[in-house]
C-alpha cells in the first residue's frame, strides 16, 4: 500500500451505529499509542494487537527483508490482505493480515485506514533502528563492534543466570598481523581484516554472531553451546581462515589463533572473557594457528 500526501477523510456520518463509533474511538486510541514508541518491536506489537481488535483477524504480521526483521501476532490462516508499505519512494516493509474467513470490502477499507496511521511512526522507528544498527557496526568490516558485543554478552549472561543455558565464548586473533602492517602497509592489513571477518561470519552458525573486539581480534558468542561444540566450531573457523589468501602485490597467507571458554567453567560468567583470552594467549604461546580451551 503506497501512501500519499492526500489522506482519505472519514467523517462521523459514516459511523452511525455503536460498532462503528467504537471503531472510530479505537482508531483514535491506536493513533495516540503509535506516536509513543520509537522502537520497532513495541511499535509493531501495539499495532498488530490493536488492529486485530478493530478488524477481526487471526494474525497480523510485519516483515522487512531489507533489515531482516519480522513480527507476527497470532496464527496465520488461509484468507489474507497483504500491503506493501511505501512512503516517498522508501520501502518500509509489508503487512499481512489473515483469518479463516474472507475479509469484507468494509473491513479492508477499515484496515487501510488503520494502516495509514502506522506509516509515519514506522518510518521514524526504522530510521531509529538503522541509526542504532550503524552505531553498533564496525565501519571497516561491517560486522558488529565492541559496544554491540558488550550488550550481547550481558544478555547472554542474564539468560544463563536465569535459565542455566550453557554458552561459550570464542576469541580469535590474526597471527603476525603487526608484521603484515609493517611489511605491506595498513591497506593490506585492512583487506585482511575484512576478509577474515567475512570468513568467520560465513563459517559460524546462523544463530551466532561475530564481533570485532579491537585491532585484529574478533569474538564470537556461541549460544546453547558446550565446550565440545565450541571446540568443533572453532576448529572449523581456524581451518577456513588457514585457506585464506589475500592479494596485495603478492598473495598473503593468513592464519589465526583461537581461545574458547564455556560458561560451565566458572561460577562468575563475567570472568568468561578473561578466561577465553587466557586460552587465546596459550594458543599464541604454543605455536599459533591453533585452538586452545580454558582451563
What predicted TM-score, i.e. pTM, was given to this entire model?
Answer: 0.72
CA distances from 117 to 8, 154, 243 (A): 11, 36, 53
- Output the DSSP codes for 74-137: E---SEEEEEEEEETTEEEEEEEEEESSPPPHHHHHHHHHHHHHHHHHHHHHHHHHHHHHHHTB
Q: What are the grid coordinates assigned to 102, written together? A: 474472507
pLDDT tens per residue across span 76-99:
999 999 999 999 999 999 999 999
Question: Of the listed 156, 209, 216, 227, which one is catalytic?
Answer: 216
Question: Residue 9: pLDDT band by 50, 70, 90 thresholds?
Answer: very low
Question: Residue 14: pLDDT band by 50, 70, 90 thresholds?
Answer: very low
pLDDT at 246: 96
Q: What is the mean pLDDT of residues 152-179?
A: 94
pLDDT tens per residue across span 53-78:
899 999 999 999 999 899 999 999 99
Let me know: does 92 contact 123? Beta carbons within 8 Å: yes
Domain ranges of the chain: 12-135, 146-293
Question: Which range is least confidently modeled, 26-35, 138-147, 205-214, 234-243?
Answer: 26-35
Check whether 7 has a pLDDT greater than 90. no
Let me know: does 177 contact 192? Beta carbons within 8 Å: yes
Q: Which CATH class is domain 146-293?
A: alpha beta
pLDDT at 22: 55
Superfamily classification of domain 12-135: GAF domain (3.30.450.40)
Beta bridge partners of 262: 168
Q: What are the grid coordinates assigned to 222, written together? A: 556461541
Q: Is 216 a catalytic residue?
A: yes
Give the C-alpha separation, 238 to 218, whole Å. Answer: 12
pLDDT at 20: 56
Amino acid at each position: 500500500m503506497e501512501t500519499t500526501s492526500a489522506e482519505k477523510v472519514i467523517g462521523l456520518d459514516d459511523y452511525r451505529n455503536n460498532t462503528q463509533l467504537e471503531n472510530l474511538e479505537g482508531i483514535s486510541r491506536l493513533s495516540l499509542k503509535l506516536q509513543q514508541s520509537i522502537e520497532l518491536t513495541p511499535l509493531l506489537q501495539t499495532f498488530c494487537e490493536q488492529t486485530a481488535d478493530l478488524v477481526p483477524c487471526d494474525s497480523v504480521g510485519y516483515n522487512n527483508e531489507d533489515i531482516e526483521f519480522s513480527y507476527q501476532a497470532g496464527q496465520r490462516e488461509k484468507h489474507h490482505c497483504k500491503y506493501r508499505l511505501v512512503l516517498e519512494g522508501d520501502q518500509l516493509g509489508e503487512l499481512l493480515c489473515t483469518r479463516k474467513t474472507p475479509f469484507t470490502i468494509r473491513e479492508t477499507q477499515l484496515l487501510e485506514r488503520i494502516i495509514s496511521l502506522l506509516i509515519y511512526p514506522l518510518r521514524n522507528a526504522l530510521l531509529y533502528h538503522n541509526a542504532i544498527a550503524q552505531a553498533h557496526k564496525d565501519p571497516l568490516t561491517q560486522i558488529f563492534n565492541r559496544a554491540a558485543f558488550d550488550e550481547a554478552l550481558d544478555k547472554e549472561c542474564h539468560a544463563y543466570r536465569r535459565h542455566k543455558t550453557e554458552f561459550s565464548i570464542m576469541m580469535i586473533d590474526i597471527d603476525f598481523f603487526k608484521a603484515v602492517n609493517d611489511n605491506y602497509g595498513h591497506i593490506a592489513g585492512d583487506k585482511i581484516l575484512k576478509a577474515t571477518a567475512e570468513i568467520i561470519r560465513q563459517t559460524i552458525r546462523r544463530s551466532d554472531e561475530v564481533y570485532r573486539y579491537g585491532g585484529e581480534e574478533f569474538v564470537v558468542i556461541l549460544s546453547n553451546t558446550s565446550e565440545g561444540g565450541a571446540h568443533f566450531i572453532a576448529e572449523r573457523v581456524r581451518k577456513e581462515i588457514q585457506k585464506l589468501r589475500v592479494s596485495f602485490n603478492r598473495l598473503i597467507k593468513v592464519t589465526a589463533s583461537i581461545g574458547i571458554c564455556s560458561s560451565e567453567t566458572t561460577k562468575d560468567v563475567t570472568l568468561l572473557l578473561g578466561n577465553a583470552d587466557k586460552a587465546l594467549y596459550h594458543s599464541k604461546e604454543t605455536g599459533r594457528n591453533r585452538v586452545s580451551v580454558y582451563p
